[in-house]
Chains A and B, each alone.
Chain A
Amino acid sequence: MSALVTSALAERVRSTGSFDAEACMNCGVCTAACPLGRDVLPRRLFRYVELGLEERVRAETETVFSCLLCRLCEESCPAGVHITENVRTLRRYLVGSA
């Protein structure tokens, strides 16, 4: 699938809270460490945001809310990405004003 890369989505997400996934080196340690064992969490999900793939992010809403925020991924991240805070920011973005 071809995609038009745009920073618009990442900018909208950052307007709702801190989101530092641009520091991700795409190594996949986070996904390997995650107790949920879902391919999309968290690396691919963050990549969708950085690439501007809003529909893909929204399609993963349930996944975003299933994250345990346990920080096992963050403990292992060599780039020091604040993964759980990014997930919380995405939740705010997805649910809007509850």
Chain B
Amino acid sequence: MALPARDVIGILADNLRLRGSVLPISAKNATRWTRGLGLPRGGETVVYTGQMYQLIPYIEGLVRAEQRLAETRLARLTGLGRRVNRLVNVSAFMARPSPAERAEFDRVPRTVVQLLRDAGIEPGCLYEDDLYAGTLAHDLGLDEIVASHARRVQEIFRRHGVRTVITIDPHTTSMLRSVYPRLLEGYDLEVKSYLEVLAARDGDAIPQLTRSVVLHDSCVFARYEDVVEEPRRLLERAGYGVVEPEQHGRLTWCCGGPAEALHPDVAAKVAEDRVGQLRRAGGECVTMCPICLVNLRKAANGTVQIRDISDYLSAAAVDAER
């Protein structure tokens, strides 16, 4: 049994309205990935996480808690839970990932910063002002709440003197590049994914292919933001042979993740179908979205190695230095 949609949506909406994220995490947990990187605060060009990779272990913890709750009589009390959550951040209390789970996902933005630096780009960072972009609330149709949140983010960019935003995940990219301009007056930031930024730079190709990888395109990158060629160009430049699964590029198959908050059973089935396609393509699999990464990994249950594209690009850069 799924929890009542209206109450779950209400809790997510309250969290975004009151706490700036559908699943609020502390500034300490949201910014742990920056430690030791010496990133300047603000500036014309910043790397912006939208907290997406950092949030994944908490989302997973919350979904596990939701599933346990849905199996009990307490599931009938989600309306009461929403009222309590307005006063106390219950959703964050329910989601408690381990340090190892957090470190796994904090590694991605750290790696992206290193890749940008290797390409001669020194971005700034907004630290605790690097807020969730509002993707889930937008998907659920909560447009007024998203618009209000977007104005808050716009003011943060203005205050820090930001002109160019380098994003990491597809959902934050799409919100900042395609949704915010429809919601905000005078919003004229340049928004690019780090994959686009790196792919646009000239780079020396590694002459010999070291191994093959199966590429899972993100629906949002491929069909919302037209980011299709960039990951292929970067992987090939880094010496990987790219193997295409049955559905790829603009016809890629969803990982199921967007259904997870309300319908985890639906999400699991779609992810299983996709893992089947990836497995038939053979080899290890590359993702470029934190939601795809976690959903496909869960469905694969260790039968297919699935890692973020930043890991592959970083490994190739290290090999090239040797």
Contacts and interface: CB of A to CB of B under 8 A. Distances in A.
Interface string A53-72: 00000000110011111111
Most buried by A among B13, B141, B251, B262: B141
A6 B211 CA distance: 60
Interface residues on B, range: 20 to 34
Contact of B253 (A61, A72, A88, A95): A72
B141 A95 contact: yes
Most buried by B among A61, A65, A89: A65
Contacts, number: 71
B27 interface: no
Interface in A47-87: 61-62, 65-72, 74-75
A91 B223 contact: no
A35 B277 CA distance: 13
A92 interface: yes
A3 interface: no
Contact of A66 (B10, B13, B143, B259): B259
A91 B13 CA distance: 14
Judged by DSSP, the binding face of A is: helix
A62 B4 CA distance: 9
A89 B141 contact: yes
A55 B209 CA distance: 58
Given A62-B2, A71-B219, A35 B254 contact: yes
B258 interface: yes
Interface string A28-54: 000000011000000000000000000
A70 B258 contact: yes
A69 B178 CA distance: 15
B140 A72 contact: no
Interface of B: 2, 5-6, 9-10, 13, 138-145, 219, 223-224, 250-254, 256, 258-259, 262-263, 266, 270, 273
Given A17-B141, A91-B140, 19 more contacts: A35-B254, A36-B266, A61-B5, A62-B2, A68-B219, A68-B256, A70-B258, A72-B223, A72-B254, A74-B223, A88-B138, A88-B141, A89-B141, A91-B141, A95-B9, A95-B140, A95-B141, A98-B10, A98-B145
